[in-house]
Amino acid sequence: MSGQLAMAPPGSRPGLPERLRDTYDRLLASARFRAFATRFPLTRPFARRRVRALFDLCAGFVYTQTLLACVRLQVFDMLRDGPQPHDRLAARMGLSPEAATTLLNAAESLRLVTRRRGGRWGLGELGAAMVDNPGVTAMVEHHALVYRDLADPVALLRRDRGGNGLSGYWPYAGTERPDSLPDEHVADYTALMAASQPFIAAEVLAAYDFSRHRCLLDLGGGDGSFLRAVGARHASLQLRLFDLPAVAERARARFAAAGLGDRAQACGGDFTRGPFPDGADIVSLVRIVHDHDDARALAILRAARSALPPGGTLLVAEPMSGTAGAEPITEAYFGFYLLAMGTGRPRRPEELAALIRQAGFADPALLPTRTPLLARVMTARAA
């Protein structure tokens, strides 16, 4: 099940589109052609766009760090109630007026802030989206760890998987007995997942109607944020969570604090083995399968099958490869992220569907989601 490309048989003559593509590549690879393309008025707009795209690739880390500085200095919170004069904002950030100019000019170019009349600064389109958005804020901070692992990408690609900062952050990825992990090893990632869960739950709830079900079992359900969101929409649905014992303990406390009583129960264990709570007619795996290599992903899906009666429903929600318009996110971002984490890979819907069938399910179907780059949803029926 490795994502292999369909290759033309050796020795076969490439078709016309392939040969045109080769000619185009050769032209672009010629410094003389590139110089001509920037001079010639009809090709100049294309040349400019290419230069800009390449420069953005070179400078991406600087853009990221501009965002990190704004988050750490709480710029978006400071501007949430309205524009602020430059010097007051600089003082609140603890920066000299000159340093504040450097940061705010950079942030303006990235649509994080905007210059307003009277020497004031206000929120930009993307900065406004950071307000009251703890999920993205937590991810921005988390990326400091991700980028440490990616500081030498060639070494990361060449060495055996595991042994990185991210593998330590997600300790279940590299251990045979994840169910013995203590609370201090699961606390940070459980909080990070809970912070970003509202986006995912909103996508799933918009894509799938749970009202036909009696009991939802969420495998790897974290602190129960997903189940609480589904339960709030469907008041008669029973909620069951299964996760590592230390994580399930956190979910139990959150369910009690939310006053869910017996309607929501959390069980601890290893989801490749169970045993699972009885009675579920739907099992969800939210941001789970992509964390695991094929053999383990199959074991999790088979375990999910064992928790369902024939005809029961499986629902898998996660970002998937081959999502049109999200290629840099699924291929570059998740590809490298999971490489550094040490297990798993983003899968194309057809690769996931093949695993799901192998695990004893039928009719895998991809449901449309509103923001497919955040999550796609696949359902299947227990055969």
Ligand X SMILES: C[S@@+](CC[C@H](N)C(=O)[O-])C[C@H]1O[C@@H](n2cnc3c(N)ncnc32)[C@H](O)[C@@H]1O
Q: Which of 124, 127, 220, 344 binds ligand X (CB under 6 A)?
A: 220
**Nearest to ligand X of 203, 291 (CB atom):** 291
Interface with ligand X, residue 241, by CB under 6 A: no
Interface with ligand X, residue 291, by CB under 6 A: yes
Contacts with ligand X in 95-114 (CB under 6 A)?
none
Interface with ligand X, residue 197, by CB under 6 A: yes
Nearest 5°: the CA angle 328, 329, 334 is: 115
Interface with ligand X, residue 303, by CB under 6 A: no
**Nearest to ligand X of 223, 281 (CB atom):** 223
Interface with ligand X, residue 351, by CB under 6 A: no
Q: Which of 90, 107, 130, 247 binds ligand X (CB under 6 A)?
A: 247
As given in the structure block, the two tokens for residue 158 are: 């060449």
Interface with ligand X, residue 240, by CB under 6 A: no
Backbone angles phi, psi at 379, to 5 degrees: -115, 160
- Residue pointed to by tokens 């070494």: 155
Q: Which of 100, 114, 169, 221 binds ligand X (CB under 6 A)?
A: 221
**Nearest to ligand X of 84, 272 (CB atom):** 272
Q: Which of 124, 127, 178, 319 binds ligand X (CB under 6 A)?
A: 178
Cα 362 from Cα 123, distance rounded (Å): 49
Contact status, residue 365 vs residue 379, Cβ threshold 8 Å = yes
Question: How many chain residues bind ligand X (CB under 6 A)?
Answer: 21
Interface with ligand X, residue 243, by CB under 6 A: yes
User: Considering only 17-25, 106-114, 149-157, 287-295, which stretch makes contact with ligand X by CB under 6 A?
Assistant: 287-295
User: What's the DSSP call for residue 270?
Assistant: B
Backbone angles phi, psi at 360, to 5 degrees: 105, 25
Enumerate the H helices of 110-244 as residue ranges. 125-128, 134-149, 153-158, 165-169, 183-207, 225-233
Contact status, residue 162 vs residue 342, Cβ threshold 8 Å = yes
User: What's the DSSP call for residue 220?
Assistant: T
Q: Classify strands 113-116 and 264-268 as parallel, antiparallel or unpaired.
A: unpaired
**Nearest to ligand X of 200, 315 (CB atom):** 200
Interface with ligand X, residue 271, by CB under 6 A: yes
Total number of residues shown for the chain: 383
- Contacts with ligand X by CB under 6 A lie at 172, 178, 186, 190, 193, 197, 200, 220-222, 226, 243-244, 247, 270-272, 286-288, 291
